[in-house]
Amino acid sequence: DNALACTPQELARALSGCAFLRVLNVRGAARWARHPSGYAPLLFALLPALDTIDGEANDRPLGADGWCAARYLHRNMRVSPNELAHLNLENKGIVGEDLFCVVCALTLLPVRSLRLRQGNPGAAIPAYRFHVIGTLLSLSSLDGRAVTADERANALRELESIRADARAFNARIAAKKEEIMAQGAGALGSSKPHGKKRRRMSMARLAGGIGSVMRRVSTPFVKARPKGTEGGLEPHAGGDSHGAKDGAPHSRASVGARGGAASASPLGEGGETRGWAQD
């Protein structure tokens, strides 16, 4: 007993790379591990893929949609479902529209802190930070900087403006199509100005979704700025660091005296992936 000389946060960081960890038994293995009601909620928040901790069930499991998004990230980004709370996606080479796919997948997951910009060319879009903050409402930290309440309010306001502009642009394009067809002017998009506008609106089709992220449809907005650090959200306990990933998958972990059967993993090899996980 009391063999672990670490905090719950340090234990979670050490286990976060275990993609197939679903059952954890830790009671009696540390001074703080006396009653599951005292440490289970924190460990569930830091290791969201867990089903049970010392017999206590996770009251906020990922769910069907969450597991689809988790499988997409696991298969394409090699991300463990147990490191979703403090997620590091730097230097993954995310380019183009892949960034929008990744951010949309993260809307279904309990991400508290995210590192994304470095090493991902797709993040070089105008007002990248506002796009991500306004879409991932659970974030308390992005790229090592805390997300303030004023910053989130500005992001939400600007994203709504972007979506309104996109809807208006789509309406104008639809009217232009009808006009061209009525006049018999040939194939759509033959005029260069019209084609240039269509290229500018390459991401406009994402405007309708609540969890979507898209580019500024005219010029990059520069008016919205964080008003200050007042009312900022405190980062979640545990920091942004991650433990080293394990070399082999784990089905269960037991650091205490009790045992338990591991549940079937939704990340089964070769299984059909619904929704996000498409090869």
Residue 181, in any domain of the structure: no
Shared-domain flag, residues 138 and 90 = yes
Question: Given this model, what pLDDT does residue 199 score?
Answer: 44
Residue 88, in any domain of the structure: yes
Which pLDDT tens digit goes with each residue over 181-227? Answer: 887 655 444 555 555 444 444 444 444 443 444 333 333 433 443 44
We report the CATH number of the domain holding residue 90 as 3.80.10.10
On the CB side of 195, CA atoms within 13 Å amount to 6
Shared-domain flag, residues 81 and 139 = yes
Please compute the mean of the pLDDT values over residues 42-68 and round it to a whole number.
Answer: 91
**Strand 141-142 to strand 113-115: parallel, antiparallel, or no bridges (unpaired)?**
parallel
Residue scoring higher pLDDT (257 or 97): 97
Pick from 146, 163, 196: which residue ends a domain? 146
Least confident of 6-15, 100-109, 195-204: 195-204
In the DSSP assignment, the letter for residue 219 is S
Residue 100, in any domain of the structure: yes
Tally of structural domains, the chain? 2
DSSP 22-75: -EEE-TTSSTT-S-HHHHHHHHHHHSTT-SEETTEEPSS--HHHHHHHHHHHHH
pTM above 0.75, yes or no: no
Distance CA 34, CA 4 (A): 13
Pick from 87, 122, 146: which residue ends a domain? 146
Least confident of 45-59, 143-157, 173-187, 194-208: 194-208
| Residue 265 CB neighbour total at 10 angstroms | 19
Question: Given this model, what pLDDT does residue 266 score?
Answer: 56
Residue scoring higher pLDDT (265 or 173): 173
Question: Given this model, what pLDDT does residue 268 score?
Answer: 55
Residue 230, in any domain of the structure: no
Residue 171, in any domain of the structure: no
Residue 259: exposed, middle, or buried by beta-carbon count in 10 A (0-12, 13-18, 19+)? Answer: exposed
Shared-domain flag, residues 276 and 264 = yes
Centroid of chain to Cα 63: 15
Structural domain for 135, as ranges: 63-146
Shared-domain flag, residues 31 and 90 = no
Please compute the mean of the pLDDT values over residues 123-147 and round it to a whole number.
Answer: 89
Question: Given this model, what pLDDT does residue 183 score?
Answer: 78
Shared-domain flag, residues 38 and 110 = no
Please compute the mean of the pLDDT values over residues 128-143 and round it to a whole number.
Answer: 90
Pick from 92, 126, 146: which residue ends a domain? 146
Q: What percent of the chain has pLDDT over 70?
A: 65
Instruction: Give the mean pLDDT of the chain.
Output: 73
